[in-house]
Structure 1
Amino acid sequence: MTRQPQERTSVRKPPAPLSDAAFTLLVQGVLDYGIFMLDPQGYIISWNAGAERIKGYRAEDIVGRHFSVFYPFEDQSSGKPQWELETAVAEGRLEDEGWRVRKDGSRFWANVVITALWDEMGVLQGFGKVTRDMSERRAAQHALTERRRLFDHLVQAQETERRRIAWDVHDDSIQAMVAVGMRLELLADRVPEPYAAELQRLDTSVREAIGRLRSLTFRLHPPGIDRHGLIEGLASHLEDVVGSSWGMPYAFEHRLHREPPPETAITIFRIVQETLLNVHKHAGASRVDISVESVDRGVLTRVKDDGTGAPRSEDGTREHFGVIEMRERAETAGGWWSMRSRPGAGTTVEFWVPDPHPLPDSTPVDGSP
């Protein structure tokens, strides 16, 4: 009987604790964070390379001075530095974001953490202070906020112009053509038969033009989206246009955490509207499926048809009306847009736009499946 060799298991020894010298080397070498210590009164007793890089002081220039030198004059006058130390003592630590001052007098936006340090006897020995320069992040946030403000203004301006054009068409062009149609009907009853038939054909053409104009005004400013929100607006559009007017079967699923803001809702609605129009005109589809859901702090929308698929031109780009407008709408809102299609396999348009104020929970709005 042979004995099987026993499997050897190696036991890894725990790493040796970091020595005081190594820990000091680590703290001193960190460049992205200003790390230094204060005595119980707030005077600086240590300084690292990160603090020098962020604040501009060399150790020999700043050690021994009070840390309030980093605060703007208005904060010094209000007693903010001392209040922060007292808060750190009372609560153990304090975190703050605000303006701080470099050696050259320039200001930067800082994230600051002050931690009270106690010995074994419970006696306060001083404070540990960690500072991070957040100026670039704050500038990026301001740029994003400004971009969002400009986007909202652009959407509102576009919708106002669309509404004005829709009203002008309805109150002027359509009414004028309705009057022409009524005159043609009266004339058809008073002229001989050969002329009456021609007038009837003209009247039919006028009625068809009126119908097209009314469809145009609806596309320019569909009712409901500004009063009832995205889900009701889309549902109404699908029922009235896709189902009733086009006679196309469809499915609509929505799983939103909440209704998005008006500008976001209008952007989503307009892209879906353009996509559906392309499906109706060019896809040769017998069915379309639409889904809207909250994903990654935004709204993901999918429009899928079972049509012929979008053909490709000789240079490889998709020949599809409205593609540039749809992509620009999504990207202007800070999102993305894509289209997947193969001849004979249908087309899927998918896009995502951010929600400026998403809810943290994942509960869909009432009425969604």
Structure 2
Amino acid sequence: MNTTGINRYELLVDSVVDYAICLINLDGTIASWNVGCERSTGYVAAEVLGKHIRMFYADDALAADEPTAALVTAHDEGRVETEGWRVRKDGSQYWANVVLDLVKTPDGTAIGYASITRDLTERKQAEDRLRRSEEQFRLLLQGVGDCAIYMLDPDGCITSWNTGAQRIKGYTREEILGKHLSTFYTLEDRAAGEPQRALGLAASTGRFEAEGWRVRKDGSSFWAHVIIDRINGDDGRHVGFAKVTRDITARRDADAALADAREALFQSQKLEAVGQLTGGVAHDFNNLLMAVIGSLELLEVRLSHDPHALNLLGNALAGARRGAALTKRMLAFARKQELQPTSIDLKALVQGISSLLQRSAGPTITIDTVFPLALHHILVDGNQLELALLNLVMNARDAMPSGGHIIITAKNETIEQSGHRSALPPGGYVSLSVTDDGHGMDAATLERATEPFFTTKGIGKGTGLGLSMVHGLAEQSGGRLLLRSEAGRGTTAELWLPMAMTAEDALTHEPEAPVPENSASGAQSILVVDDDPLIAMTMSAVLNDLGHITVEANSAREALDQLSQKNYFDLMITDYAMPVMNGLQLIEQVQARWPHLPIILATGYAELPEGSAKSVLRLPKPFGRVDLVRVVDAAAAASASRKTSV
């Protein structure tokens, strides 16, 4: 019966192939060996029976004497379970789970150990792969320094924290774990319930994405791109959130700068287009005014005996001269006015016209000037700057109908690199500011403030050319006009102008000596060149009335023919804008063939080719009788000086 039972037991044990089952003597030698043992280790029974179990242990386990420790523990405690690497016959290793049970006789005498070993190599490898994957994922998250990546529990409290989160937000892992997501929100967003809204949307829809201001540990703010994803467990239950935050402050600033640059380019192109149109209209209008003013001045002399007619004529002349002033402002906006830049002491200039500025502002307005002790000289046309400053003060006055305060300040400025808010190139400048506490301008008005003929003053109260003229002067002088204003909070106009290289020739503003209405140079033979017969005829009439002898030419080619046929001209006055051959090209040919002939260039344009006709006197259009007397006398004086020196 026992034999049969033992045989059945052996059959049962040998049939188990997934487990290595064997008996081990108390001294650790092998007493039995089943088929599962052969399958796991590669040894047959004859090769292992009587051998010690040490033969299956790896070197490091043998060095630690693990076999002896396992046998001792099983003997003392009756059972021991261990896992570790074991060695097969071919030298390969496998991960084994080993259970040793102490075997006793019915009377309690220990006779050996029952060993059951399972090959768990695949499970071990899977666990190792999972552990390595988790470690790699952890290292990946920790290595991402540009993104804050961390986990939240379902209530929004932080449960993990990567290096990027610490770099961006300033908190260490120990400082932030367990804190609520709202820690990073502004006080305004917290009061509005923004953190709860974000978590609620992520929980209900699975994802929340937004941009907004977030707060670092040190209290500073940054513009963040935020993503919150809902995390579900294997059973589909909500277990938390994954949170990714990027600091995109630099990108936002770059986008804003790009948008500002595009807007500035658009405004510049718009003003340039309007300027081209305005300059062209002003030039043509100048020619018309030339004829009107010249003819009216001639009539003024002839009608001096008729007071009523003289009064009507005076009104017509006043209107024509107002038109001439208007065209000058239009040309100033278009940057086509004739400028005479000089080194200017800005403080002295403002002091010199302070009484004029105060009278223009009126008794209800106080004007204060604040200048530093050391203020660089600037390179600008002083007369035009006075006019620009007067325009700025009058605009400030009109913004304060009930009275107020105007502050005129100036300071030295240095632009060291491109990208300055003024969009000016690097260099030295002086910023002249006129600030009022008037009603200010809204954004739409501010955008159009420098456009010509744009005004908010109502019909008959403004031409809309004041700021346009200031803008044109600044641009043509190598500077910039900057306007800052808000509705109800006043306006500041900043006029940036380049510093002069030297202050030795600073302009002193003294009233000019009156110019006689009749020429002091005596009768001269003058060649008048203009493609517009009306202008040529009017100019000739004025010159004839002054006692000069004139010959008209309506083209550059006709002028050259006149000079070739008649060699008695004392002076030539030529227009610039003529077809086929312009005034500068004509001057170049005349100077080559008749180098001693004085020449006057009459033009409404300032943007002539650099270096052209340096020795030629300029006569800005439109001009009147007094202007013509002055420039003709100057040309005669220059010619006499050259002859004397020869």
More RCO (CA 8 Å, sep 6+): 1
TM-score range (shorter-chain normalised) is 0.3 to 0.5
TM-score, normalisation: structure 2:
0.27
Specify the structure having the higher radius of gyration (Cα).
Answer: 2
